[in-house]
Amino acid sequence: MNGTLKRVAVACMVMFGLLMVNVNYLQAVKAEEFREDNRNFRRFFERYENQRGRIIAGNEVLAESVDTDGEIRFERRYRNGRLYAHVLGFFAPESERGIEATENKLLDGTSADLIVRRAVDLITNKPTRGADIELTIDPRAQRAAYEALRRAGRKGAVVALDPKTGAIKAMVSLPTYDPNQLAVPNKGKVAQAYNKLDADPDQPLLNRAIETTYAPGSTFKVVTTAALLEEDDTVGPQTLVDAPQVLDLPGTTVGLPNYAGAACGSGRVTLQFALEKSCNTPFAKIGMELGYEKMKEQAARFGIGEPLQIPLNVAASSIGKKEDQAALAQASIGQRSVQMTPLQMAMVAAAVANDGTVMKPYLVDKVVSPDGDTLDETEPDELSEAMSSDAARKLRQMMVSVVSQGTATAAQIPGISVGGKTGTAETSDNAPPHAWFIGFAPAENPKVAVCVFVQSGAAGDRATGGATAAPVAREVMRAVLQR
């Protein structure tokens, strides 16, 4: 029987051989496919297997992963989630948003910067932890901005910058949402919550500070003034400019009036007076005289026209395409097709405050490894030179008088000289205007530049930059300056 037994032995060998080949095929060749399969819940668990890094602002921990000791090991929690939602974003079961998305590789520890750390963890058998992200946000300023903006209106945005570095001190967008409800480790619940937010006509998911653009209204006159000062360095605050009650627009039958059709002084006023009272006609005329190219060039020097990463994606602002002179006149006062993000307008104010230099705005201050070593620290970076320091000085002087005796008196802070410019932007014929304010303080040594934007309809029909937006800016600046 040995002959047949040997043949049976060969059959057994073939059976084990087949099993082995098959296991090799499954675990070496097909493994990737099984791992990546959507139905493989292990992908889902893996997301929560390692302790994700924290997101910190000042001394406050804004986002952290909490060990649940359950099947879902670490759950993401946000403290004061509604306050920071648009900056932090959220860590959803299948995707991320905001800083959680842009810094994902550092936070989850897979970044190449952490490769040594991971190797050490592997050897010492310690679980991998992600790096902490320290934001430039000042929690006091953020809270002040949030509270003040909520009082001013339901929809809008606030951005505060350190004009000397570009560090973003506050970034608030309203309406907001609770990122915790989008970070629960349950695909169904998150999808439901997300769809509800996504369908909301008020667009709570939208970061109004950077993701979309609005007509900036009169705040844009700062850009027009900068263009004039750059064009002719003999021009100063006391230079006289034409300020008719209605400006004839070439090629049209309608004229361009001042706000509410009012007169502007005697019809020939100083540049400073025109800015203080926010007259439309002088700036429309200045814009037409300078021409589209010069206006466009000046805008570009403020950074307008280019998208940015801070590291969140910032939509590109624009002054619109070249049209006729009538269109240019309207563009010069921030109407027509001029479209700005609130961050861009904060950058304009910051450039004026910082002697004409635009610093690249940024949100991430430091990346800190789990054991406390600083892996990366953002160096302030110049984005562009918007104007000469002389022009900036003149513009600063004029903006200070806008706050001290012009349309923006509501932005005054006792004992500190504040510079600013209001804007009340018409959106369409019958809709209420957007209310804007851009400014900086203290004027002699600026520590903060700010932009407040209250969206059309959010603060009633009578919203104006001076009455609605300027007080918000005052609160934010006071918080940053700790006054």
Minimum CB–partner distance for residue 72 and other proteins (Å): 9
Q: In this structure, are residues 173 and 207 in contact, taking their beta carbons and an 8 Å threshold?
A: yes
Binding to other proteins, residues 86-125 (CB under 8 A): 125
Which window, 25-33, 76-84, 344-352, 388-396, contacts other proteins (CB under 8 A)? Answer: 25-33
Q: Can residue 445 be called a binding residue for other proteins (CB under 8 A)?
A: no
39 vs 321, beta carbon nearer other proteins: 39
CA-to-CA dists, residue 378 to 84, 117, 242, 351, 362, angstroms: 21, 21, 46, 19, 8
Minimum CB–partner distance for residue 12 and other proteins (Å): 4
Q: Can residue 22 be called a binding residue for other proteins (CB under 8 A)?
A: yes
Of the CA atoms within 13 Å of residue 24, those in its CB half-sphere come to 6
Q: Can residue 30 be called a binding residue for other proteins (CB under 8 A)?
A: yes
Minimum CB–partner distance for residue 74 and other proteins (Å): 14
12 vs 240, beta carbon nearer other proteins: 12
Residue entry with tokens 């000397």? 164
Q: Is the dihedral of CA 470, 472, 473, 478 positive or negative?
A: positive
Which window, 21-29, 228-236, 281-289, 375-383, contacts other proteins (CB under 8 A)? Answer: 21-29
Which window, 31-39, 144-152, 211-219, 354-362, contacts other proteins (CB under 8 A)? Answer: 31-39
43 vs 294, beta carbon nearer other proteins: 43
Minimum CB–partner distance for residue 43 and other proteins (Å): 8
Which window, 8-16, 298-306, 340-348, 361-369, contacts other proteins (CB under 8 A)? Answer: 8-16
Q: Can residue 16 be called a binding residue for other proteins (CB under 8 A)?
A: yes
Q: In this structure, are residues 216 and 334 in contact, taking their beta carbons and an 8 Å threshold?
A: yes
CA distance 192 to 169: 33
- For 80, the 3-state DSSP assignment is coil
Residues 6+ apart with CB under 8 A from 55: 61, 62, 63, 64, 88, 99, 100, 103, 107, 132, 133, 135
Q: Can residue 187 be called a binding residue for other proteins (CB under 8 A)?
A: no
- Binder to other proteins among 59, 67, 71, 124 (CB under 8 A)? 71
DSSP annotation of 238 reads T
Q: Can residue 186 be called a binding residue for other proteins (CB under 8 A)?
A: no
Size of the site for other proteins (CB under 8 A): 38
Minimum CB–partner distance for residue 355 and other proteins (Å): 57
Minimum CB–partner distance for residue 186 and other proteins (Å): 15
Which window, 33-41, 266-274, 289-297, 461-469, contacts other proteins (CB under 8 A)? Answer: 33-41
- Binder to other proteins among 20, 120, 122, 262 (CB under 8 A)? 20
Q: Can residue 15 be called a binding residue for other proteins (CB under 8 A)?
A: yes
CA-to-CA dists, residue 164 to 200, 419, 440, angstroms: 38, 16, 11
Containing H/E element for 199? helix 187-199
Q: Are strands 156-161 and 374-377 parallel, antiparallel or unpaired?
A: unpaired
Minimum CB–partner distance for residue 101 and other proteins (Å): 25
Q: Can residue 18 be called a binding residue for other proteins (CB under 8 A)?
A: yes
Strands (E), 20-167: 55-57, 60-67, 74-78, 132-135, 156-161
- 106 token code pair: 């550092």
Q: Can residue 254 be called a binding residue for other proteins (CB under 8 A)?
A: no
18 vs 431, beta carbon nearer other proteins: 18
Minimum CB–partner distance for residue 124 and other proteins (Å): 12
Q: Can residue 9 be called a binding residue for other proteins (CB under 8 A)?
A: yes
Check 218, 317, 369, 456 and give the catalytic one. Answer: 218
Report DSSP letters for 391-449, one per residue.
HHHHHHHHHHHHHHHSTTGGG-BTTB--EEEEEEE--SSSSPPEEEEEEEE-TTS--EE
Q: Can residue 313 be called a binding residue for other proteins (CB under 8 A)?
A: no
Cis amide prior to 244 (ω within 30 degrees): no
Question: Per DSSP, what are the bridge partners of residue 436?
Answer: 423, 453
Q: In this structure, are residues 212 and 206 in contact, taking their beta carbons and an 8 Å threshold?
A: yes
Q: Would residue 456 show up in a list of annotated catalytic residues for this protein?
A: no
Given the rule CB under 8 A, which residues bind other proteins? 1-9, 11-13, 15-16, 18-20, 22-24, 26-28, 30-35, 37, 39-42, 45, 70-71, 125
Active site residues: 218
